[in-house]
Structure 1
Amino acid sequence: MKIFDAVNFGTKYLKGSIAEPRIESEALLSFTLGASKEYLLINRDKELTDDSFNKYMEVLDLRKSGMPYQYIVGEKHFMGLIFNVSPSVLIPRNDTEILVEEVLKRLKSGDTVLDIGTGSGAIAVSIAKYKDVKVYAVDISDGALEVAKENADINGVSDKVIFIKSDLFSSIPDGIRFDLIVSNPPYIRSNEINELQEEVKREPKIALDGGEDGLTFYRRIVKDSVNYIKFGGIIAFEVGFDQAWDVKDILVDGGYSDIEVVKDLQGIDRVVLGKRL
């Protein structure tokens, strides 16, 4: 089968299963061949080997079954950087770039930052890459921490990020006080997990399930954060589409003031920030 025919075949094979079958069929063939999209165009009449076509079918089958594209190719672009991803971590979302951008605006050189539930390390690594700060990144998952450490190496910030296995604050060294605490915690309501898109359900449940009302981790983080954040320090959260004002109330009740709510590119309240009184 020629490259051009393989792309057409993949498009038809994925149609009805994903939103952009042609784009992804091309991308998956590029991944299979280790070649660029331009290579596919220039060599559209080149015959695929049987081995290459069989490997292409394997990734098409994975994608058709609902496996996220990013897990298949093993990477995701975020904040202009490349991050390894695996089924051990939540795939970084473009919306989370809003959170990182708001954090970067508020940091100054020499600050100390805590990223809670670091997952792939997208937030922690991006902050360390673009600001001269020290970042502590915690997660309860060994698999996530392994991926996050790889991403710190890939992006050249291993010397600026300290990774700790911790259930929120439980293993944070004594005596540390942070200038800023940031988190994109699990915030999907437990009874909505089974209603998520098939692709999203392939991501780790521990990174999605925010408890009965989706606010469990916001309450836990805010309650304990006062023992780890400096006076005047900032706390910054990503939130679900309908959670901003509930999280604002949690912050106010927890001793935070100057609450700010920032919208994403779709006009949805996506980031909530507060200052420690």
Structure 2
Amino acid sequence: MPCDVSGVQTVQQALIAAARQLEAAGIQGGARDARLIMAHILQLDPSRITLVAHDPLASQAHSQFCTLIARRVAREPVSHLLGRRQFYGRDFHVTPDVLDPRPETETLIFHALQRPFASVLDMGTGSGAIILTLLAENPLAKGQGSDLSQPALKIAQANADLLGLSKRVQFTQSNWFDNLDGTFDLIVSNPPYIALNEMAGLAPELSHEPRLALTDEADGLTAYRHIAAEAARYLNSHGRLMFEIGPSQGQAVADMLLNAGFKAVRVIADMDGRDRVVTGIAL
């Protein structure tokens, strides 16, 4: 049942009603989502919602809350409703033009930071979350992010401005290596890796994210083949190439790197024990 804004409710009453509405729509964690949305409307940290739980909810705030709950019922991601997503301890601006940064991608960040680098290239940068996090964690490094999508690059630049990193990063519109030059100590990429025949089984929320960032409309390995074949020319001696992968793609992508002449090729699992990163070193 949609939100009823005809009568005065407390914050807690509105939260309970919204949580029931979300759970009835089959959304797990409905109470959590409702709290995040309410905190956004009231401009509070979510941890402080309890302090205002018994306060009356102003009609305008209630109307805004109900509008966002209805959008969540339609399976729009919470990040799109809030306009931001937290990644590696920082908030990133997100819109339907970019893929949401996800917790599993932090595996790539963690392992990339285990060795020093002065220059980094992020291919298919999207929101810029990967390269901007790497630069924020490595204050002496500079980087470049590339993406085919101009709207995505605008979001990445906005995030660079927000984090005060604009002087250390450059964003370029490019179809993989087409418009790039120079060499780097580190190349990272989280390319579209969902196979076409897997798209129908994805969570409904993913229909609100750019299809270009999700699938290659083929077997999910097209970008890996292209990057693995060309990357060595853009890497400094002993530079690293690191991919995020789908959980079933580890061996296939590792073989691509080995066939391209990379050494010390490894498949790295994420916190859930699923293959998540493939890395190799150029000679």
TM range (shorter): over 0.9
How far the C-alpha of 1:39 sits from its partner, in A, is 4.3
User: Conserved in 2, the CA contact under 8 Å of 1:194 and 1:201?
Assistant: no
Deviations 1:235-272 (A, max 9, x none): 00011000000000111111211101111001111111
Pick aligned residue for 1:81 from 87, 90, 113:
90
Letter in 2 for 1:47: P
**1:3 partnered with 2:11:** yes
Q: Give 2:80's aligned amino acid.
A: Y
How many pairs align? Answer: 273
User: Partner residue of 1:27?
Assistant: 36
| Alignment partners' CA distance in 1, 2:80 and 2:96 | 6
Deviations along 1:120-179, one digit per CA (max 9) or x if unpaired, are 101110111111111111011111111111111111211111111111111113xx1111
Unaligned runs of 5+ residues in structure 1 are: none
Could you say which residue in structure 1 is the equivalent of 2:133? 126
The one-letter amino acid paired with 2:123 is I
Aligned to 2:200: 194
1:42 — aligned with what? 51
Distance, in Å, in 2 between the alignment partners of 1:243 and 1:38 is 39
Deviation, 1:38, is 4.8
SS in 1 for 2:233: coil
Deviations 1:98-123 (A, max 9, x none): 10111111223xx2111000001011
Moved more, 47-56 or 67-76: 47-56
- What residue number does 2:245 align with? 239
Instruction: Find out whether 1:257 has 2:266 as its counterpart.
Output: no
Distance (whole Å) between structure 2 residues aligned to residue 67 and residue 141 of structure 1: 21
Q: One-letter code of the match for 1:273?
A: T
> How many angstroms apart in 1 are the aligned matches of 2:40 and 2:145?
31
One-letter code aligned to 1:144: A
**Once the two structures are aligned, what percentage of the paired residues are identical?**
34
1:63-103 per-position Cα deviation (integer Å, ceiling 9, x unaligned): 00000001110111111111111111000011111101111
Give the conservation status (yes or no) of the 8 Å contact 1:187–1:211: no
Aligned partners of 2:228 and 2:171: how far apart in 1?
21
The alignment yields a C-alpha RMSD, in angstroms, of: 1.3
What residue identity is the alignment partner of 1:87?
P
Distance change (3 Å), C-alpha of 1:51 and 1:260: same
Please, which of 183, 206, 216 is the counterpart of residue 189 of structure 2?
183
Answering whether residue 216 of structure 2 is matched by residue 210 of structure 1, we say yes
- TM-score by length of structure 2 reads 0.93
Per-residue deviation, 1:46:
2.0
**Structure 2 portions without partners, runs of 5+:** 1-8
> Which of these residues, 16, 21, 26, is aligned with residue 13 of structure 1?
21
The aligned counterpart of 1:224 is: 230
